[in-house]
Homo-oligomer: A and B are copies of this chain.
Amino acid sequence: MIKVYGTSLSGNCHKVRMVLEALHLPYTWTEIDSSKGETRTPEFLARNPNGKVPVVELEPGVYLPESNAIICYLADASPLMPSDRLLRARVLSWLFFEQYSHEPYIAVARFLCRFHADPPSQRALLESKMPGGYRALEVLEKALADAPFLVGGRYTLADIALYAYTHVADEGGFDLARFPAIRSWLSRVAAQPGYVPMVAP
């Protein structure tokens, strides 16, 4: 059975849970609290030398880190990953967009507001995250203006990866009121079979 080492309120970890649940894959979940140094122990660094959650243990001693690589592995040959070469590349394109142009702004802003020990001290950093976050949301809004999902007209890993932090973007101070296509899409994602909400452990 797949073992997940993750943090329930992390969007990156939530992606993994969403895919496991959507595909009805059995798994165990070990809650990791990085604020207590749990991603910096020798045991954890043996699982992922980069010291980040999520990491999965696929079979005893076989670990795989990086949320978007994990979901690609899990969804291999499933309806969540298109079989067509170009559509598969488009899913990957959204996954890399998410990690480079979306997460570093939207997830980091949320972290500063919700999980930092002293949010007021982070105000300048928080403000520096807003323009990039809104740029990412504008790219998403445009992509969803005429399409129900991000790739090929159906629900894929691209939607799961982008949903993870977009649906909690308000916790980082982003106002989704001006993004009607994103809001409709968030509702469509949450209505998918096997959908599981992000909840505290």
Chain A residues within CB distance 8 Å of chain B: 49-50, 52, 58, 62, 64-70, 72-73, 76, 85-86, 88-90, 92-93, 95-97, 99-101, 103-104, 135, 139, 142-143
Which residue from B69, B85, B142 sits with its C-beta under 8 Å from A92?
B69
Q: Is the interface of A mostly helix, strand, loop or mixed?
A: helix
Q: How many copies does the complex hold?
A: 2
Q: Within the assembled complex, what's the spacing in Å between the Cα atoms of A67 and B181? A: 27
Closest chain B residue to A12 by CB distance?
A: B100
Which residue from B49, B93, B142 sits with its C-beta under 8 Å from A69?
B93
**Residues on the B chain within 8 Å of A101, using CB:** 50, 52
**Residues on the B chain within 8 Å of A86, using CB:** 58, 62, 64, 73
Q: Within the assembled complex, what's the spacing in Å between the Cα atoms of A122 and B135? A: 23
Contact B76 A85 (CB under 8 A): yes
Q: How far is the CB of A75 from chain B (nearest CB, A)?
A: 10
Which residue from B72, B95, B103, B143 sits with its C-beta under 8 Å from A49?
B143
**Residues on the B chain within 8 Å of A142, using CB:** 49
Contact A73 B89 (CB under 8 A): yes
Q: Within the assembled complex, what's the spacing in Å between the Cα atoms of A76 and B88? A: 10
Q: How far is the CB of A99 from chain B (nearest CB, A)?
A: 5
**Residues on the B chain within 8 Å of A65, using CB:** 93, 97
Closest chain B residue to A62 by CB distance?
A: B86
Contact A69 B89 (CB under 8 A): yes
Given contacts A104-B104, A139-B49, contact A70 B89 (CB under 8 A): yes
Q: Within the assembled complex, what's the spacing in Å between the Cα atoms of A93 and B70? A: 8
Contact A66 B49 (CB under 8 A): no
Closest chain B residue to A91 by CB distance?
A: B69
